[in-house]
Amino acid sequence: MTPRPAGFAAIDFGTSNSAVALPAGAEGARLVEVEAGNSTMPTAVFYRADGALAEPERVYGRAAIAAYVDGVEGRLMRSMKSILGSNLAEQRTEIGGGRSVPYLDVVAGYLRHLKQRAEADAGHETSRLVLGRPVFFVDGEPERDRRAQAALEAAARAVGFAEVVFQYEPIAAALDHERRVEREQIVLVADIGGGTSDFSLVRVGPSRRGRADRRDDILASHGLHVAGTDFDRQIELEAILPLLGFRSLGPAAKGQLPREVPSRIYFDLATWHLINTVYTPARVAELRSIRSWYADPLQHRRLMQVLEARLGHGLAAEAEAAKIAVTGAGRAHIDLDAVESGLGAELGREQAAAAIDADLERIAQAARETLRGAGIAPERVEALYFTGGSTGLASLVERIGAAFPAAARVRGERFASVAQGLGLHARAVFGG
């Protein structure tokens, strides 16, 4: 008989950021310093293509993004979580230098890196794992959703986690919140991250703390695939891609209405997990050949520059930075010098708000639907607990809050409450 492995950890594998928790003290959990000075780390892997190594060198997190930004030859992988529920999950992806790897190896490599960080911190092996998952990996398709979780579990097992237990991310956030409440209440947890917006209606209270099975306290949960990376996408389509021809009309031929230039390339460019698909030689050749569709050849030239210099992730990052900057300063400047010398774009508060308005409405709608499923009136919700990076958007918090006028608004740790709660759950299921 193999002995029961001792150590355990909890991982919040996020679309944009990930974090790891270990048991601490008598019954708590603490976050691992996954990078020097940081307890969260971008979910990013960079494969270097500049070495002559048979096994390409990989770097993770902020170092991965820095390598990419510094122009090191190689391939940046982000939003790997979004791939889990898509057809890409079974495919290989090019990593530069004529090499390719299965997408799932990218996920596994990232999990291995987090495992090593946890073990270096704990000082012993961690072979049992609580892994967070969104309420839905894939909206409205249970079979694909099951496959997404199975793929993530297989990646975790492949790197040496012998036991893997899943917990819903918003439930984990509720466990973190519960440590601070003094009496029983119904709370709607809103976890608005990079890839998903998840809502859970949860009963919390001092007397419920520490129960191993909390299924009865989860009154309803609901999620959708609209969150921070979708806001980035809308901002990029609104403020950046028109300069590259998005929605522009071609030259007017005699007696015919001008036609709009093909738009799929722009949607792919603006979608984090599809960016790498636009650089294949066939795709680049196809786009080069449609130059005559453009009334303004400059727009086509800019588009080709983005493809040839692989600026897709850079543009998406500019859009993301502008989204965040505009909430504070009211406007943002987007530097597009890499696309064309001196090129730039401006983003104003109203313009940004209009670009993401439909997404905000869908998210607020999902919050209301969560209650409907449980037959609970909005007035019974005593608190709204906000977590996830996108709750940095005041307009989003406002929009959700307006649907529950009686509820207190509680802001959790935007980037840490899910990992903390997963750590608490790991203690409940693994003991120790």
Q: Is residue 416 a contact residue for ligand ATP (CB under 6 A)?
A: no
One residue of 389, 412, 421, 423 binding ligand ATP per CB under 6 A = 389
How many residues bind to Mg ion according to rule CB under 5 A? 2
| Closer CB to ligand ATP, 328 or 432, in the complex | 328
Rg, the chain, Cα only:
23
How many C-beta neighbours within 10 Å does residue 406 have? 11
Smallest gap from Cβ 14 to Mg ion, in A, equals 4
Give, in order, the Cα–Cα distances in Å from 170 to each of 122, 199, 316, 387, 416: 26, 7, 27, 9, 12
Which residue has the CB atom at the shortest distance from ligand ATP? 228
Say which residues have a Cβ less than 8 Å from residue 113's Cβ, sequence separation at least 6.
60
Choose the stretch contacting ligand ATP; rule: CB under 6 A; options: 15-23, 61-69, 274-282, 354-362. Answer: 15-23
Spatial CB neighbours of 431, under 8 Å, sequence gap ≥ 6: none
Q: Shortest gap between Cβ of 355 and ligand ATP (angstroms)? A: 14
Question: Long-range contacts: 92-100, Cβ < 8 Å, 24+?
Answer: 93/276, 94/276, 94/280, 95/47, 95/49, 95/56, 96/47, 96/49, 96/56, 97/49, 97/56, 97/73, 99/47, 99/49, 99/56
Closer residue to ligand ATP, CB minimum distance, 145 or 169: 169
Single residue of 270, 320, 332, 412 touching ligand ATP by CB under 6 A: 320
Q: How many residues bind ligand ATP (CB under 6 A)?
A: 22
Return the number of the residue (74 or 193) whose C-beta is nearest Mg ion.
193
Residues 185-214 as x/- pattern, contact with Mg ion by CB under 5 A: --------x---------------------
Residue range at the interface with ligand ATP (CB under 6 A); choices 111-119, 194-202, 293-301, 331-339:
194-202
Binding to Mg ion by residue 23, rule CB under 5 A? no
Q: What is the rounded CA–CA span in Å between residue 351 and residue 55?
A: 46
Window of 8-16, 79-87, 240-248, 304-312 that interacts with Mg ion by CB under 5 A: 8-16
Length, in residues, of the chain: 432
